Structure 1
């Protein structure tokens, strides 16, 4: 199981790890996610998903960060997201979405198949109240 650490008590904004965010534009009918390296500010990945939901985008963003860490040996093995839903779905290695999208099924299979490696990665909640918007935010609010 992925560790869910709520850093809500820490006044210090994280400076290392990967932060992810998802977004959905009703006007454009496009969902997307991306990951940012907290240390450098560089975008590590960015993907458009078509017309999905923000929860699906948030979840797939965290899964993409997990894959990135496993494939590249990225350190520290810490991911931040502001989505409790994404953290819950990752911990369960299964979504609660009624939508069926091939990326969702692949993500669930990946989380289960790679469980021993996935479980070495921490997924933490980004405390927006204390730290401001997550750096991966799309600014669509």
Structure 2
């Protein structure tokens, strides 16, 4: 069920986005988009308080799950680099959050010359997870209740 929200809603003073009241606006939302799966994949992060894009990566040949995983790790690493300790991360991907928790991208994407650069990025992300302590909460974005995550690329039909 899609919520009919104003932008910004009159009951929220912590965001410019139309967020449900139970969503923490002191957060970054990440999402990936993929044209085909595998296909041209990209991911991005949006600050829920400001609505601004924090980062964008791609497109590269990959899968949506890989993009979701890399988006979370990218957000975690950037938060650490910037000394941000008070935000949470929202992702709509259960698989990606689990992969981050296990510190391993469990993709079945075929290794080939076409995917070599992406596999190098995955290896860097996994190494970062193994060598850093993650304390930032990674929360599930409840798409069925709240609609699409604000970092969505808006390509669904």
TM-score, normalised by the number of residues in structure 2? 0.76
* Counterpart for residue 139 of structure 2: 124
Structure 2 residue runs without a partner (length 5+)? 1-19, 112-118
* Counterpart for residue 21 of structure 1: 31
User: How much does 1:16 deviate?
Assistant: 1.7
* Counterpart for residue 135 of structure 1: 150
* Counterpart for residue 76 of structure 1: 86
Contact 1:17 1:75 (C-alpha < 8 Å) held by counterparts: no
User: How much does 1:131 deviate?
Assistant: 1.4
Q: What is the number of equivalent residue pairs in this alignment?
A: 128
Runs of 4+ in 1 over 4 A off after TM superposition: none
TM-score, normalised by the number of residues in structure 1? 0.84
Pair 1:31-2:49 in alignment:
no
Alignment of 1:74-113 (within 5 A): 74-99=84-109, 100=111, 101-113=119-131
SS of equivalent residue, structure 1 residue 18: strand
User: How much does 1:95 deviate?
Assistant: 1.3
**Higher-helix-fraction structure:** 1
User: How much does 1:98 deviate?
Assistant: 2.6
| Structure-1 separation of matches of 2:51 and 2:93 | 20
Structure 1 residue runs without a partner (length 5+)? 1-9
Greater length-normalized contact order (CA 8 Å, ≥ 6 residues apart) = 1
Contact 1:58 1:86 (C-alpha < 8 Å) held by counterparts: yes
| Structure-2 separation of matches of 1:43 and 1:25 | 21
Correspondence for 1:53 among 63, 70, 81: 63
The Cα offsets for residues 14-41 of structure 1, whole Å up to 9 and x where unpaired, read as 32211000010129x4100000000000
The Cα offsets for residues 17-70 of structure 1, whole Å up to 9 and x where unpaired, read as 11000010129x410000000000000000004110000000000011101110
User: How much does 1:77 deviate?
Assistant: 3.0
